[in-house]
Amino acid sequence: MQFLNGITLLLIFQLIGEFGARLLDIPVPGPVIGMLLLFLALAVRRSVPPSLDTASSTLLSHLSLLFVPAGVGMMIHFERITGEWLPIAVALLGSTVITMLASALIMAGTSRLFAPGERQDD
Amino acid sequence: MTDAGIATIWVYLSTTPLLGLTITLVAYGIAYRTYLWAGSNPLLHPVVLAVTMLILFLVATDTPYEAYFTGGQFVHFLLGPATVALAIPLYQQLPKIRRLWLPVLITLVSGVTIGALSSVALARLFGASLQTQLSLAPKSVTAPVAMGISEQIGGLPSLTAVMVVATGILGAILGTKLFALLRIRDDSVKGIAMGITAHGIGTARAFQVSTEMGAFSGLAMALSTFTTALVLPWLLQWLGWLG
C-alpha cells in the first residue's frame, strides 16, 4: 500500500505539472514542473512521507531501465547514424568531455569563491 | 505444433504490448546481472547491453520498432513519475543547496551553454547535416524534454532521443574517470557536473557513488532542463545556427 500511495502522489504532481505547463504555455515539460512543485511542498511540510520515500527510492534505483525503450529507437535512425557517424561521434564525445570538465571546474572554482569552508575533502 | 501454427502465434504476440514489455525487462535483467558480474565495469553499462540485445532480437525477428514500442512505452512512461520523484533526494539536500545556490546557478548557466554550443559547433565542423546538428543540440537534457526542444528548433525528436541516451551513457562512463583526473573529490561538484552533462543516466550512476552526488546530479538535471528549454532556442536563433 505504501508504494501505491507514493506512486499515486507522484502521478498527481505530474498531472498538475502537465496541466500548469499547458495552461501557462511554458516550454518546460510537465514532469519537471511537477518535480519543482513537489519539492516546494516538501520544503513547506518539512518532512518526506514514508509512502513517497518508498515509491521514489524504488523508481530511482532502476532509473537506467527507463531509458532502454528510447535507446532501442536507434534502430530507426540506423542509416543516418552510419552515414554521419564521424560528426555524430566527435560531437557526442567531444561535447560530453568539454561539458563535464567545464562544469566541474566552474563549480569547484565558484564553490571556493562564494562558499569558502564548504569543501569536505575525504 | 506445426510451423505455420507457431508463425500465427508469433504474428499475434509481436503486435501485443506483452512482448515488448517482457523482452525489455528480460533484456535489462540479463544486462544488469552481466554488469554486476563484470564488477560494475562502466563499458558494460546495462543500458548499452540491453539496447544492443533488444535491437539484435528485433532485427532478427523482423519486428518493427513501433510494434516493440507498444510494450516499451509502459517502461518509457515511468520516466515521468521518476522525474517527479527526484524532488525527494533534492529536498533531503536542501541545507547544502541553500549554502551553494550561487555557485550552482553560475555553473548551471555556463554549463548548459557550453554543452549545447560545443555539440552543435563540433557537428558543424565535421560536416553533419543541419537536421543532425539541431538534433544534437539538446542532448544533455532528459529525453522527454530534449525531444520537445528538438521539435521546436527543427531537429528530429526520435534521433534526439538516441543522442540523449548516448550522451548519458558516455557521461556515466567517462565522468568518474575525468573527476579522478582533475582530482575532484567533492560529491556536490561531481554531482552538478554529472547532472548538467548526462541527465538521468548520469544521475543513476551518481546515486551509485553516493546519495549526495545523486541528489546534486538530480538537482542539476532538473535545473538544466529548465535552463535549456528557455535558453537554447533563443541562443541558436541569435547565432543564426537554425539554418
Query: Which residue in the set B54, B58, B145 is minimally distant from A29, CB to CB?
Result: B145
Q: Which residue intervals of chain A are DSSP H helices?
A: 2-24, 30-45, 50-61, 68-72, 78-83, 85-114
- pTM of the predicted model as reported, rounded to 2 decimal places: 0.81
What's the CA angle centered on B87, arms A11 and B193, to 5 degrees?
Answer: 130
pLDDT digits (tens, 9 = 90+) for B137-179: 999 988 777 887 888 888 888 889 889 989 999 999 999 999 9
Closest to B145 (Cα-Cα) out of B78, B48, B79, B220: B79
Residue B22 or residue B225, greater confidence: B22
Q: What is the mean pLDDT of chain B?
A: 89
Within 10 angstroms of residue A78's Cβ, the number of other Cβ atoms is 12
Residue A122: pLDDT over 80: no
Q: What angle do CA B86, B87, B90 make, to 5 degrees?
A: 90
Which residue bears the cell 510494434?
A: B67
Report residue B125 as a C-alpha cell: 565542423
Separation in Å, CA of A62 to nearest CA in chain B:
8
Q: Which three cell numbers stand for residue B16?
A: 501485443
**pLDDT in the model for residue B24:** 96
Q: What is the DSSP letter of B155?
A: -
With contact defined as beta carbons under 8 Å apart, do A31 and B84 qualify? yes
Q: Which of residues 85-104 of A touch B (CB under 8 A)?
A: 86-88, 90-104
pLDDT single digits (tens) A19-45? 998 898 776 778 888 988 999 999 999
d(CA B204, CA A57): 11
Q: Which residues of B65-88 are buried (b: 16+ CB within 10 A; e: fewer)?
A: bebbbbbbeebbebbbbbbbbbbb
**Contact criterion met (CB below 8 Å) for B126 and A94:** no
Asked whether the beta carbons of A63 and B82 are under 8 A apart, the reply is: yes
The answer to whether B182 contacts A101, with C-beta atoms less than 8 Å apart, is yes
Q: Residue B238's CB: how many other CB atoms inside 10 A? A: 9
B-chain residues near A10 (CB < 8 A): 81, 84-85
Cα-flanking dihedrals φ and ψ of residue B86, to 5°?
A: -60, -15
Give the pLDDT mean for A76-85: 90
pLDDT at position B193, please?
96
Cα–Cα distances in angstroms (integers) from residue B13 to residues B2, B16, B18, B20, B72, in the given order:
17, 5, 7, 9, 14
Confidence of residue A121 (pLDDT cuts 50, 70, 90): very low
User: Across residues B191-203, what is the average pLDDT?
Assistant: 93
Average of pLDDT values for A77-91?
A: 92
Can you tell me the ipTM of this complex? 0.86
pLDDT for the residue A85: 93
Distance of alpha carbon B141 from alpha carbon B158, whole angstroms: 14
Q: How far is CA A58 from CA B46, B106, B114, in A?
A: 17, 32, 33
Find the closest chain A residue to B71 by CA distance. A69
Model pLDDT, residue A120: 47
Residues B60-89: what's their mean pLDDT? 90
